[in-house]
Each structure stands twice: as C-alpha cells, then as structure tokens.
Amino acid sequence: MTADSLREKFLGFFKAKKHKIVESDSLVPKDDPTVLFTPAGMNQFKKEFMGFDCGFKRAATAQRCLRTDDLDKVGKTSSHHTFFEMLGNFSFGDYFKEEAIVWAWEFLTKELSIHQDKLWVSVYQEDEETYKIWKDKIGIPEKKIIKLGDKDNFWPAEAKTKGPNGPCGPCSEIFYDFGPGAGCGEKICDPSCSCGRFVEIWNLVFTQFNRKDDASLEPLPNKNIDTGMGLERLAAIMQGKQNNFEAELFQPIIKEIIR
C-alpha cells in the first residue's frame, strides 16, 4: 500500500466519523513563538485546545512536520527524518479517550488489517482509566500494555517539569513489533527498549491541561484529543520493511542519488 493511499484511507476513515478534513499548516508556523518549525499536527489547533470555538469539534489532518529535536537521530535510526508527515485526528471538547482508542484500533486492525498480535501499547503510569480501556474494551493482554512515565507517556515529553507552557496531557502510544529476531534478542524486550524491534506508530494524547509558568497544570475548559501517526513509519510497515529508507517514499530518491 502506498503512502498516498494510506493518507487517503486515514482521512477518509475520519471523515466518515464526522471529522472536518483540514489542510496541513505551513511548515513555518505564523503565530507560534514557541517553535521554529511545525513539529506536530496539534500545533495549528492550540487555540482550539484552549477553548476557542472554530465552528467544528472534530478535525483530521496530514501535517507536514519538522522536529529539531529529532535531527541528531537522523541517519542513525531506521525511523527518524528531517521532514515527515503526521496523520492526526483531533477532538476539541467532543470525544475523549474511549473513542480515540477504539477508532485507532479499528483503523489499524480492520482498515489496514494489521494483525493484533503485532501491536503493543503503552500508557501513562498514573492513567488507570486508559489501561482499563486497552485491557477490557479492546482486549489487549496485560503483558502487552506497558506503563511509562513523564518522558515517554506525557506530551510534550516531560512538559510537567520542563515545559513548554500550553496544552498538554498524558498519552498512550501504539507500537508495531517487528518480532524477536529484529532487535536485541534479549528475553525481556518491550517497547521501552531502543533496540529497534518495536517502533512507535501512533501517539494518542489526552490533552486536558494547560501548563503555566509556575509549572502548574491547570485543567483546560474541555478535554481534548490530539493524535499523531508517522506516515513514513506506517508506509514502511505496510510495505513489509523494517527501515523507512527501504520503503517506497525514500527508495526513488536514494536510487536517483546513487545513479
């Protein structure tokens, strides 16, 4: 399946669930002094997360992104890029955790037919509600739900202690497992291991706080959803590749360079 058809499938899936399809924002954001480049789909919706009524409560995008934090990893890992596209669905005070989780699972396992055995999830260590949804509603075995802390399962990472200010919240991530032969081979290896066996494909953020100057977390007027899935990672998985650079989006460029 090509990246173009994945993007189309994703936007069509959420359009059918009453999301407004919004164009990707500029890679250089106009009115956001907190970032140099657009690092995520949520950036163009910060006002909506803070309670501004834009006339719709559900949106989906394919956002062009650049993460300065990732640049050191580019060329060293199989899944970090200077530029990438993020597929995201958003709720501004409309649906919350359960729908976001159920729809993400439906998209991956039904629309894309990814076998559920290949998927693991992580939840914020204090977020029992999300743990229960994955375990009881979706039926994920407990050994495949891992609990992580502020660095991995709060977005932005470590926002509680380090900032930036603004909308934030606990998150839950979905990982694809390339199998025991693909990584370190250690008996205990799970999505918290950086050996490459597991790749994070989708981050579901439960955006419910506004982080302030004094590091306090003020509840937002509404509970929101911000999700982001890496198109290049998903395309590689759907094309049977463990390395994004071996998949369809990069191969024509690489072949042209070495020609």
In the complex, the residues that contact ligand SER under the rule CB under 6 A are 40-42, 88, 155, 203, 205, 226-228
Q: How far is the CB of 185 from ligand SER (least distance, A)?
A: 29
**Given its phi and psi angles, is residue 113 left (phi above 0), alpha (psi -120 to 50 degrees) or beta?**
left
Encoded tokens for 256 = 């042209």
Q: Which is nearer to ligand SER, 88 or 197 (CB)?
A: 88
Q: Which is nearer to ligand SER, 54 or 184 (CB)?
A: 54
Q: Are 220 and 203 in contact (CB under 8 A)?
A: no
Look-up of token digits 């669905």? 89
Give the three-state DSSP class for 97. helix
Burial of residue 244 (number of CB atoms within 10 Å: 0-12, 13-18, 19+) = buried
Encoded tokens for 33 = 């002094």
Q: How far is the CB of 86 from ligand SER (least distance, A)?
A: 6
Q: How far is the CB of 18 from ligand SER (least distance, A)?
A: 20
- DSSP assignment of 182-229: GS---SS--TT--SSSEEEEEEEEEEEEEE-TTS-EEEEEEEEEEEEE
Q: Which is nearer to ligand SER, 85 or 177 (CB)?
A: 85
Q: Which is nearer to ligand SER, 122 or 227 (CB)?
A: 227
Closest residue to ligand SER in the complex (CB): 228
Q: How far is the CB of 116 from ligand SER (least distance, A)?
A: 22
Q: Which is nearer to ligand SER, 71 or 184 (CB)?
A: 71
Q: How far is the CB of 60 from ligand SER (least distance, A)?
A: 12
Alpha carbon distance, N-terminus to C-terminus of the chain = 26
